[in-house]
A = this chain, B = another copy of it.
Amino acid sequence: MSTDKITFLMNWHATPYHAPVYLAQKQGYFANEGISVALLEPNDPSDVTEIIGSGRVDMGFKAMIHTLAAKARGFPVTSIGSLLDEPFTGVVYLTSSGITTDFRTLRGKRIGYVGEFGKIQIDELTRHYGMTPADYTAVRCGMNVSKAIISGEIDAGIGLENVQMVELEEWLVSQHRPRSDVKMLRIDELAELGCCCFCSILYIGNDAFIKANPDKVAKFMKAVKRATEDVLTDPLGMFERYIDIKPQMASAVNRKIFERSFAYFSRDLKNVPRDWNKVTAYGKRLGVLPEGYEPNYTNEFLQGWDLAKDSADPIGDQKRMAALQELVKEQGGFRRIDDGEKVGVVGVAA
């Protein structure tokens, strides 16, 4: 017997920034739309595009660079919306490692990466800094980059500002060391990309599934849009609900990760064409996309709400975001750069 359940595979174990999909399930928003969804989690994030691209699973989350590369490699997927816009991503290190803001201090170091693309990105960067891939040791870490830095297995590793940096900051606090001992060499800055959009986390779908089920896809996106609005309006209340679903979210570090992810949530779930063009060009430069490759995204399933105009000042936005995240690191709370002229604060955890 076939099933009408939509299968949806996370890009990672359940994580604070996944809140909208788990809440869409828990709040009954999928059911309200008349769809049934099974949420699945991977043991290895590197399996995700292959499993979705081959049609074994219908939909899921994945970063932009992986989404582009998947289709180029014969695993046809398309992004149908954005979960997180441009989370800062880079080489995360402790100051005690001897690494500095100078990329060349990575020489001789052991650098952890998740699956494959982090290594491709670092390898490509070595050329711009008079080095070769043989100048550092790459260590595949899967989902355990922070753990490997803490254990000393690696000197630095690729991670997100709102996840791995937070894990390391909270570990530092437990060691009576300042949070400022963890730093990031941002890949977008090193590679002069002008955005951290290669790591934007997207809603993706298998191409054949999308073509055969446009209504289901639109209903899915409507349900997660509703849950996203809930999160943006009442982050503390919604995080408590998320803890009901996933008790491990109650940890101090997961609460911090949720705060630090808050500013990155896409409000309208829009795929940003400018970002896609930049990352497509970057993918060609990395050698993972052929010349002439057309980016694989669509906004056609975002129906029933307005999509924001493209920002007139994306570089300025990025600077504001960096300052905002420093503020959240210091003071906590739920803040976004799109909340008005000045930084808006929705609520600050006691």
Contacts and interface: CB of A to CB of B under 8 A. Distances in A.
Interface of A: 1-3, 5, 7, 9, 13-14, 22, 25, 38-44, 47, 50-51, 53-57, 73-76, 144, 147, 244-245, 247-248
Nearest to A14: B43
A44 to B, nearest CB: 7
Contact of A3 (B5, B38, B54, B147): B54
Contacts of A51: 3, 5, 7, 38
Most buried by B among A3, A25, A38, A57: A38
Q: Which 3 A-B pairs have CB atoms at the shortest separation, nearest pair first?
A: A1-B74, A39-B43, A3-B54
Contact of A42 (B38, B43, B50, B73): B38
A38 B74 CA distance: 18
Contact of A43 (B38, B44, B248): B38
A55 B7 CA distance: 12
B247 A144 contact: yes
Nearest to A21: B43
B56 A43 contact: no
Contact of A57 (B43, B56, B74, B144): B56
Given A144-B247, A247-B144, A247-B147, A3 B56 contact: yes
